[in-house]
Chains A and B, each alone.
Chain A
């Protein structure tokens, strides 16, 4: 079945550092890919998405490119802030408009001032 694998956390960085959180997936067909973020005490929020190969999703300085050849959707940010501290989840949904999301295990990110 479909699956998502994220790099294990926790990840701790200093403010203004470059961030990469790796995500790879296994799926049949052509899934859509997502990154969700969960800030402390809040529900998951959609951060960005990409629906087809080579698409780049971006939001709040974060970017991720749908790489079908490497089945990856790595999350990057050039300069992180303390406010980016959260848990980040990579997810996919199957093609043909399937509603179900398959999540990675989440990566906890802590940014120190």
Chain B
């Protein structure tokens, strides 16, 4: 199957700093990418949907100024957590879908990035 890679897989930062997480589709062009957040023992919560070359669509309750998403190319989307605080500590997961017609549910997921804010 297609490969999606996230970087870094684990990051620790001080409160007040910003952290950028990259999501790359390695062997296909991802017209749409999704960013999820997962708390311990809880399900993945969709944060936003990004389409290449356009602004991301955020889910209700997600602060767009806090979680900046950029999808500037067909193989790269970035999530920047701005002015991070301990409550932002979480596991962030991206997924990507190629530009095929229709939705088959076959999203390809990255390995996830664990953010710890001290």
The interface of chain A, by Cβ under 8 A from chain B, is 4, 32, 34, 36, 38, 41-46, 49, 89, 91, 93, 97-106
A105 to B44, CA, bound (A): 7
Q: Which of B12-20, B69-77, B82-90, B108-116 contacts A (4 or more CB under 8 A)?
A: B108-116
- Once the chains bind, are B41 and A43 in contact (CB under 8 Å)? no
- Once the chains bind, are B112 and A43 in contact (CB under 8 Å)? yes
For chain B residues 36-55, which have a beta carbon within 8 Å of chain A? 36, 41-44, 46, 49
Contacts A44-B95, A45-B1 given; does A101 touch B43 at CB 8 Å: no
Residue of A with least CB distance to B59 = A100
- Once the chains bind, are B103 and A98 in contact (CB under 8 Å)? yes
Instruction: Count A-B pairs with CB separation below 8 Å.
Output: 57
- Once the chains bind, are B46 and A46 in contact (CB under 8 Å)? no
Residue of B with least CB distance to A32 = B105
- Once the chains bind, are A99 and B41 in contact (CB under 8 Å)? no
Contacts A44-B95, A99-B32, A99-B49 given; does A89 touch B44 at CB 8 Å: yes
Contacts A101-B46, A105-B43 given; does A49 touch B112 at CB 8 Å: no
* Chain A residues with CB under 8 A of B46: 100-102
Give the distance to chain B from A104, nearest Cβ to Cβ, in Å: 6
Tell me whether B93 is interfacial, beta carbon within 8 Å: yes
